[in-house]
Chain A
Amino acid sequence: MPPSAFPDSREILVGVDFSADSEAALVWAADFASALGCRLHVLHVAHDPADDPGFYRRESGGEPVRLEEIAKRMLDEFLDGVRSHCAALAEIDVSSHVTVGLPETRILEYAGEVDARLVVLGGQGQNALIDTLLGSRAERVVRHAKIPVAVVRASESGAERVD
């Protein structure tokens, strides 16, 4: 009998960068976690995109605040927005976490820390052109992950972006 594809862990990790695809990933991950009775870990890696410097600073309203603190606020708002239209997210056990570094590195590290059985990511980040030219972070996670990775794209009808 082959080993079970799903180990005993009941943790699912979803990485979000506030893009439409990552919102779709979060909704999908919440539904999946709800169906399997798993705990959902929502991770945001605070990292100014190379093509969009000041991504966090613009949200600070000019306050001299650490980017990580701004990212925490943004994640809270993002989660509140998704909860308003995703019933599953409101029903399951969710923990959120913000860290700093390169997204592909920290996602894999955190997956190990929480003993995740599955990582869920959005297909493309904030800049589709750069991701197409240089490879997306999701692709790099898939390449290096030792556990299954689900890559979710926003549907053609468009997942409603939470503002």
Chain B
Amino acid sequence: MLSGLTDVPGSEVQWFPLIAAMGGALALFLYGLERMTRALKAVAGSRLRGVLEMLTTNRLSGVAAGAFMTALLQSSSVTTVLLVSFISSGLMSMSQSVGVIMGANVGSTVTAQIIAFKVTELSFALIGVGFGLTLIPKPSYLRHHGEGILGLGLIFLGMTIMSDAMAPLRDYPPFVDWMIRMESPALGIAAAALFTGLVQSSAATTGIVIAMASQGLLSLSAGVALILGANIGTCVTAVLAAIGKPREAVRAALVHVLFNVMGVLIWLPFLGILADMAVWLSPSDPALAGSARMAAETPRQIANAHTLFNVTNVVLFLPFSTLLARLVERLVRDRPEAQEELIRALYLDTALLPTPSLALDQARREVGRLLEKVKEIFRAALPVVMDGSPDKMEAVRAQDDAIDALHRHIVGYLGRINESALSDEETAELLRLAAATNAIENVGDVIETDLIGRGFTRERGQLKISDETRAVIRGFHEEVGRALDGAHLAVAKRDSVSARRVIAQKPHIQQLADEAARHQIRRLVAHRGAGLPEYAVETDIVEDLRRIYYFAKRIAHGVVDDEPDRPDD
């Protein structure tokens, strides 16, 4: 493909074209990998969370989940970042992640297996078909699949160009000598670990290694050492993802590092055996000889050695995973428990922003948490409004500061999600969550400003709400509380049944409001108008509760995608 680079006399190498071709081909390879990963995330993103949560209840299922997820996403780094994020949010424990981390190592070997195929002609067909599918506007899953196929084609094309670019190096003695030195395991492992740590991509290292092997530039021993180094280098991503995160997430990153480093150290004296087993497992091409045979056989052998290494490590380490988990607990101690920050967002992890479906999941959790906090002050508000001292009312009112702060965090996070390319469904979900967040914050404001304000009016005027009126208001408060509970379920679990139940409460709410109004009028008449200040406060309280119900209904409407009514409808 790159004939200009191969027309070199003797041992001369045209360095600039070679480096430019290598750089461009590597960029093409990584771009293809990124497109394919993005497509897979779009197709399977939210289901992956379900896979992780449902299957991580024992070590074996965790291994399966990690392997499946990483093979699907073509990146153990993405799996690790997701784990760190879930652990930081308190949705998973480090103990659950041990099996997943081991499985992710196995899943990451799929990349090497794919790119070990020699598919130059297929790459153009994949690019053509993939690009064609991306032009189809609907349904969106065709576009996503097209993007994945296009990405795969670009990966193969990048590999081919990289491989052709390195062809002149076959006749360049200093490079050949350097490759022979890579057969020293320590040097090969260290070089690959450093490179992978710097570029943050074991796929890049794997791609280069297999491209070199396909040109007969690399022996199996050297290739195996480099692939093992990539295994270690990829731990850098896990460590970086855990910086600033809770200790449990740091422990998970340490499990990743220990598993990979110890795995390599154990295999170090047995690399020859690993290479022999890989040769035994791989197809051979006896019709070829010398470097041509090496070029034909070595890529698959390296890929199989990579798979064999990771699978046997899982088999070896899985029985000792409890000890590994306890070891990291001893190595990473707890920090003193910080006072709970009411305003700290628990789920809004920026590491998930590149995966919009997962980021939206986390945003939904945070919105559910916001509504939970609003429900707490809603329950606390009525007793202090009807009877509480100014200090108690101020204490409840102050809780709205946390609501406002969390609201800002959520809105900011949704804004950042919006900066990514979103599917139609994701855009709709983002808008629903934004609307729900604003409605919840409005409930907080009604409580803080209006409802608590009635309490202060009652207190300043030394007004007394009668026992009968209290009972009426309490009944109304409970009914509105049920609406908030239903809205909470509707948002947190996307439960349209709960949402419709909230909407269906409207007639009953109206009936209760009317009954409250009639009760208050009767009392006013009975006291011949003497209780006018009490009447005003009680009426305002009922009206505030009614408005809160309408915000709950607005939240529920968002879930069932109907147009929300205005509060005075």
Contacts from A to B (Cβ < 8 Å): 47-58, 62-68, 99-102, 105-106, 109, 130, 134
B96 touches A50 (CB 8 A): no
B99 touches A64 (CB 8 A): no
Residue of B56, B57, B493 most packed against chain A (CB within 10 A): B57
Residues on A with beta carbons closer than 8 Å to the beta carbon of B334: 101-102, 105-106
Contact of B53 with A by CB under 8 A: yes
A49 touches B53 (CB 8 A): no
Please give 4 more A-B residue pairs, beta carbons under 8 A apart, in addition to A50-B325, A53-B95, A64-B49: A49-B95, A50-B322, A54-B96, A102-B329
Contacts from B to A (Cβ < 8 Å): 49, 53-54, 56-59, 62, 89-96, 98-99, 247-248, 321-323, 325-326, 329, 333-334, 336-337, 346, 361, 365, 493
Tell me the minimal C-beta distance from A119 to chain B in angstroms: 17
B322 touches A67 (CB 8 A): no
Inter-chain CA distance A53–B97, complex, in Å, is 8
Residue of B90, B323, B336 most packed against chain A (CB within 10 A): B90
A54 touches B329 (CB 8 A): no
A134 touches B326 (CB 8 A): yes
Inter-chain CA distance A38–B91, complex, in Å, is 36
Contact check: which of A53, A68, A102 meets B59 at CB < 8 Å?
A53
A53 touches B96 (CB 8 A): yes
Residues on A with beta carbons closer than 8 Å to the beta carbon of B248: 100
A57 touches B337 (CB 8 A): no
Inter-chain CA distance A105–B333, complex, in Å, is 8
- If A48-B96, A56-B93 touch, whether A62 touches B333 (CB-CB below 8 Å) is no
Closest to B90 in A: A66
- If A53-B62, A53-B98, A57-B56 touch, whether A67 touches B336 (CB-CB below 8 Å) is no
- Taking chain A's interface residues, is the majority helix, strand, or loop, or is none over half, making it mixed? loop
A64 touches B91 (CB 8 A): yes
Tell me the minimal C-beta distance from B179 to chain A in angstroms: 43
A66 touches B322 (CB 8 A): no
- If A48-B95, A102-B333 touch, whether A54 touches B326 (CB-CB below 8 Å) is no
- If A53-B59, A53-B62, A101-B334 touch, whether A48 touches B93 (CB-CB below 8 Å) is yes
Closest to B327 in A: A50
A62 touches B93 (CB 8 A): no
Inter-chain CA distance A14–B493, complex, in Å, is 35
Contact check: which of B57, B93, B321 meets A47 at CB < 8 Å?
B93
Tell me the minimal C-beta distance from B313 to chain A in angstroms: 19
Closest to B97 in A: A53
Residues on B with beta carbons closer than 8 Å to the beta carbon of A130: 322, 326
Residues on B with beta carbons closer than 8 Å to the beta carbon of A48: 93-96
B333 touches A50 (CB 8 A): no
Contact check: which of A51, A62, A64 meets B322 at CB < 8 Å?
A51
Tell me the minimal C-beta distance from B58 to chain A in angstroms: 6
- If A50-B325, A57-B53, A99-B337 touch, whether A66 touches B96 (CB-CB below 8 Å) is no
Tell me the minimal C-beta distance from A57 to chain B in angstroms: 5
10 A–B contacts from the bound complex (CB under 8 Å): A47-B93, A48-B95, A50-B95, A50-B329, A52-B95, A63-B493, A64-B49, A100-B90, A100-B248, A106-B334
Contact check: which of B58, B89, B90, B336 meets A54 at CB < 8 Å?
B58
Closest to B361 in A: A64
Inter-chain CA distance A109–B333, complex, in Å, is 13
Tell me the minimal C-beta distance from B84 to chain A in angstroms: 15
Residues on B with beta carbons closer than 8 Å to the beta carbon of A64: 49, 53, 91, 361, 365
Inter-chain CA distance A101–B329, complex, in Å, is 10
Inter-chain CA distance A75–B453, complex, in Å, is 37
Contact check: which of B93, B326, B333, B336 meets A53 at CB < 8 Å?
B93
Pairs A-B, 6 closest by C-beta atoms: A54-B57, A48-B93, A50-B325, A48-B95, A66-B90, A53-B95
